[in-house]
A and B are shown apart, each in its own frame.
Chain A
Amino acid sequence: DAGITQSPRHKVTETGTPVTLRCHQTENHRYMYWYRQDPGHGLRLIHYSYGVKDTDKGEVSDGYSVSRSKTEDFLLTLESATSSQTSVYFCAISDPTAETYEQYFGPGTRLTVT
């Protein structure tokens, strides 16, 4: 399995509280992604990174910011959490030189905003 960890794995927070989720990889892959998954939906891309300090928005980026200061870490921040951000968050990585060009996914973080 690809070396991807997410922390925390579970979090309950209150509306209006800032929250930061961390994705850490040991594969030295260039690209990193944050997705969210809600019941009845597939995964939807929030933000992605194509290198250190290089990030861009995905399909559902409103209310989220990201940072990548090191190759191995990609942080997702909810500046002021809302109940609509209750979801399961998945981090993914990919290597553009790999033959399969696949994305490897982390175990997920379950976030509940009360």
Chain B
Amino acid sequence: DAKTTQPPSMDCAEGRAANLPCNHSTISGNEYVYWYRQIHSQGPQYIIHGLKNNETNEMASLIITEDRKSSTLILPHATLRDTAVYYCIATIRAGSYQLTFGKGTKLSVIP
């Protein structure tokens, strides 16, 4: 899996958009970008994934640069319940793939 780099922490005001960056400059052509989050001490939860195109679902949007070397996860209207550690992971989609979790970004949503 390609190495990913994320800022250790970020703050966001409640109701505003949270933009979480991720650098994956060594990503290979068959690796997808996945985002998970971990709220407090719960198990990680899948948010969204993408290969080349921007993606949107009910939780978030994922913007991937054209050269695929970086991406941004966008939570359009952050709430207090979005306070969590967010992990950006580059991985292939094949078989019993392994997720390599870094330290992620601790997002704190401020009232």
A104 to B45, CA, bound (A): 7
- Count of A-B contacts judged by CB separation below 8 Å: 60
Q: Are B43 and A108 in contact (CB under 8 A)?
A: yes
Total contacting residues, chain B, CB less than 8 A: 21
A7 to B45, CA, bound (A): 20
Majority secondary structure, A binding face: strand
A13-50: CB near B (< 8 Å → 1, else 0) gives 00000000000000000010101000011111100111
Q: Contacts A100-B46, A104-B46; is A45 near B41 (CB within 8 Å)? A: no
Q: Contacts A42-B87, A102-B49; is A50 near B99 (CB within 8 Å)? A: no
Q: Are B46 and A50 in contact (CB under 8 A)?
A: no
A31 to B41, CA, bound (A): 23
Q: Which residues of B contact A56 (CB under 8 A)?
A: 96
Q: Which residues between 66 and 114 of chain A lie within 8 Å of chain B, taking CB atoms?
A: 88, 90, 92, 94, 96, 100-108
A58 at the interface (CB under 8 A from B): yes
Q: Are B43 and A45 in contact (CB under 8 A)?
A: no
Q: Which residues between 16 and 35 of chain B lie within 8 Å of chain A, taking CB atoms?
A: 32, 34
Q: Which residues of A contact B100 (CB under 8 A)?
A: 42, 45
Q: Contacts A40-B103, A42-B87, A42-B103; is A58 near B44 (CB within 8 Å)? A: no
B35-63: CB near A (< 8 Å → 1, else 0) gives 00000011111100100000000000000
A44 to B46, CA, bound (A): 17
Q: Are B103 and A101 in contact (CB under 8 A)?
A: no
Q: Contacts A42-B104, A43-B101; is A90 near B46 (CB within 8 Å)? A: no
Q: Are A105 and B43 in contact (CB under 8 A)?
A: yes
Q: Are A92 and B43 in contact (CB under 8 A)?
A: yes
A89 → B minimal CB distance (Å): 10
Interface residues, chain B, with chain A CB atoms under 8 Å away:
32, 34, 41-46, 49, 87, 93, 95-104
